[in-house]
Each structure stands twice: as structure tokens, then as C-alpha cells.
Amino acid sequence: MASEKPQDLVVTCTAPVNIAVIKYWGKRDEALILPINSSLSVTLHQDQLKTITTAAISKDFTEDRIWLNGQEEDVGQPRLQACLREIRRLARKRRSSGDGDALPLSLSYKVHVASENNFPTAAGLASSAAGYACLAYTLARVYGVEGDLSEVARRGSGSACRSLYGGFVEWQMGEQADGKDSIARQIAPEWHWPQLRVLILVVSAEKKPMGSTVGMQTSVETSTLLKFRAESIVPERMKEMTRCIQERDFQAFAQLTMKDSNQFHATCLDTFPPISYLNDTSRRIIQLVHCFNTHHGQTKVAYTFDAGPNAVVFTLDDTVAEFVAAVRHSFPPATNGDKFLKGLPVTPVLLSDELKAALALEPSPGAVQYIIATQVGPGPQVLDNSHAHLLGPDGLPQQDP
């Protein structure tokens, strides 16, 4: 009988980071978080980058509470509230339609949420996307909500809807005013392009000077280039990028990825006053990539930058070792030689003298803090292991033993 099911529920899930190769920048509706253009992203593997979230509901909780990376945060933040409201609305809708019989009382229960990233928050590593995707996915499990969660995740952070799927994902901008058709969908699964590798060059793990929310609002208000991009350029690029991925055409994928990143940053400079997310090291990485490709006579690596100075580099598995060596040569590790490369193992190789000569850059020691080597990965996962819960039986964050 349904009434005998336990009323206290705790669920722990993980969700991935995604990196856009066709960029989202600008909203047509600030409240619903609806974009002025569609975007396309690659989901990164959770072995290297993930958010883990535990949500618990109990009749004993007196208020909703949330902890991020061990610190209690204000649960009244508008975007957090929008997510909670949306998931509870969907849960109520499901109850009233009679297809869910379990946990009738739980809708009135308060929720405790604890969330942790295994990477620096707000450093331009798409932490809000992973965080809100994980929140939406975990709350959906707690409240028994099924179906597409794009809308729930999007209300927290636009790009979060793309982290609800693994592999290669498009966020369709949609046409409707209520945003019901502004949803994410997978265009290819994570095993589609097994040779593809991703290197994150962490230039700065500091919080960025201007967050994306304010940045894109100013761009929408002041950049004529952004309007032109959204209306006249992105639709064609979405089709072309989808083709590149489906056909595993790395050269075309790489070139379009770099061009779209550059155009996004051009719209930031066209914003008034101008916004610059790239720093000198970012620009040196761009130069390094172009030198490397020119030396090889083909496009073997591609960069993309979000609203921050860290570079995300796409390449194929047969080029990883040589490019990592080129990064080490151009940005000699300060002191952490052994900790410089994290994630997937990369066999060290020596650079040829020809390539060293081609990379005619004055080395900048310590400018790249470290590299995370990763690959394309799956969407959110439920962790069945109760040891993984971030909240203890009392509904408070677990203290590490």
C-alpha cells in the first residue's frame, strides 16, 4: 500500500559540466531565462568534473535550507526559489492528475539540499550549469517528477538545461513566450565520437570580475553586433555544427568552435562599456593553438572560452600528448610540475625542435596553473550508495571523518 511508504526521502545525484561550442549569450526574457539564440554544447566527463547534490525532505524540517561546498547559502535567492517552485508545481500537477500515488504528504515538507563541486566554483568552468542541472535532477527524484526537466534547470541557469544530457546537446531557443519550447535535446550520445578529447587550461581559479548574468544583459541592451549574431549567424552555425558532430568532421568542428568563441568575445567588446573576459594568458593560448595548427598544416586543436579566461581545448586522442607538451613548453609549470596535469593520464612526449621554433613565444612561467584532461561524458546519474550522501540522518551536512 502506498501509505506505508516511508515519508522521509534522501536522494544523491551527480551532474556534468558542459562547454558550449556555439555560444549562448543574451536573454529575450530575464524572468523565464529564455535565450536570444540556440546553442550547442559538449558534456564533459564526470570522472573529472561534476557537481554532487543530496536533497532530503522530512516532516521534521522547519524550513528549506541549502549548503554549497560546505557553506550555508541564502535559500531565498530568486533563481533557487524559481527552481524549487517549478519542481513543486510539477509534482503537484502529477499528483492531481492521479498518476502518482506515492508520498502525498511530501509536497508540504521542507527540503534540505547540499551540493559540492569537485572543481573551483565561479571560475568560468560552468559550475552554475552543473549545479542547477544537478539540483533539478535530484529534486525531481525526491518529488517523483518525471519527464523533461529543461524548464526547471533553465530557471536556475540557462545553460544548465544542456547539462541534463550526456554527449552533444542543443538548447533550442524556442519561439513561445511562455518558454515551453525552449528545451535541451541530445543530438549525439557520449560514445558517438570516442577519439575526441578535451583539455581545460586553468588560467585563473578566481571569481570573474563581471558575472555572466549582468554581462549578457548589458550586451543585449547595447551591442548591435550581438543582435546580428543571434539573428543572422547562429541559425546557420547550429546546422553546420550539428553536421560536423554527426560526421565527426574534426577540422570543420574545430574551426567553427574557434570562430564562434571569437565572435562571442567580439560581442563582449562591442558591449558598452566593453567587457573583456580574456586576459593576456588567454590570448597567448589562442596564439599557441594557431601556431601549433599552422606548423602541422591542418587544424589539430581548437580553443573555446566562456565568460572567463580559462581555455577549453578540443583535440583528438592522437594529438593530446604533443599539445600538452607544447603547453608545458610555452607555460612552464611554476612549482607543481607533478600536479600540472590532472584527469586522464597523458604519456609525456618531447617536442620536436621544429615545433619549438614554430612556437616562437617567449615562455610565461606559471601563467597556466594546471591542465585537466577529460573527454565527452554522460548526463546526470543517481548514486545508490548511501555513503555518498552529503547530508546526515539529521538532515545536516556530513562532517568528513
| 291, 356 Cβ separation under 8 angstroms | no
Domains of the chain: 9-189+379-388 (3.30.230.10), 196-375 (3.30.70.890)
**CA distances (Å), 38 to each of 25, 252, 329, in order?**
9, 19, 38
Pairing of strands 34-35, 110-117: unpaired
Pairing of strands 370-375, 341-343: parallel
- Output the tens digit of pLDDT for each of the chain's 401 residues: 343 344 468 999 999 999 999 999 999 999 999 999 999 999 999 999 999 999 999 999 999 999 999 999 999 999 999 999 999 999 998 877 765 555 556 788 999 999 999 876 645 576 889 999 999 999 999 999 999 999 999 999 999 999 999 999 999 999 999 999 999 999 999 999 999 999 999 997 666 667 788 999 999 999 999 999 999 999 999 999 999 999 999 999 999 999 999 999 999 999 999 999 999 999 999 999 999 999 999 999 999 999 999 999 999 999 999 999 999 999 999 876 678 999 999 999 999 999 999 997 899 999 999 999 999 999 999 999 889 999 999 999 987 65
> Could you tell me where the DSSP H helices lie in 144-270?
150-156, 212-222, 224-228, 234-246, 250-270
| 115, 72 Cβ separation under 8 angstroms | no
Q: Write down the pLDDT at residue 192.
A: 98
In 3D space, the residue among 392, 393, 395, 384 whose CA is nearest the CA of residue 141 turns out to be 384
| 252, 240 Cβ separation under 8 angstroms | yes
Amino acid letter, residue 102: A
> Could you tell me where the DSSP H helices lie in 40-120?
78-96
Max Cα–Cα distance, the chain, nearest Å: 74
Q: Write down the pLDDT at residue 340.
A: 92
Give the rounded distance of the alpha carbon of 79 from its chain centre. Answer: 17
CA dihedral sign of residues 377, 380, 381, 383: positive
Q: Which residue has the cell 581545448?
A: 313
Pairing of strands 34-35, 65-68: unpaired
- Distance spanning both ends of the chain, measured CA to CA: 39
How far is the C-alpha of 193 from the C-alpha of 248, rounded, in Å?
A: 7
Distant-in-sequence, close-in-space partners of 92: CB < 8 Å, separation ≥ 6: 107
How far is the C-alpha of 158 from the C-alpha of 87, rounded, in Å?
A: 16
Q: Write down the pLDDT at residue 5.
A: 43
In 3D space, the residue among 314, 14, 72, 328 whose CA is nearest the CA of residue 193 turns out to be 314
What three-state secondary structure class fits 92?
A: helix
How far is the C-alpha of 45 from the C-alpha of 19, rounded, in Å?
A: 11
- Angle in degrees, 0-180, between the axes of helices 280-296 and 320-330, rounded to the nearest 10: 130
How far is the C-alpha of 230 from the C-alpha of 220, rounded, in Å?
A: 10
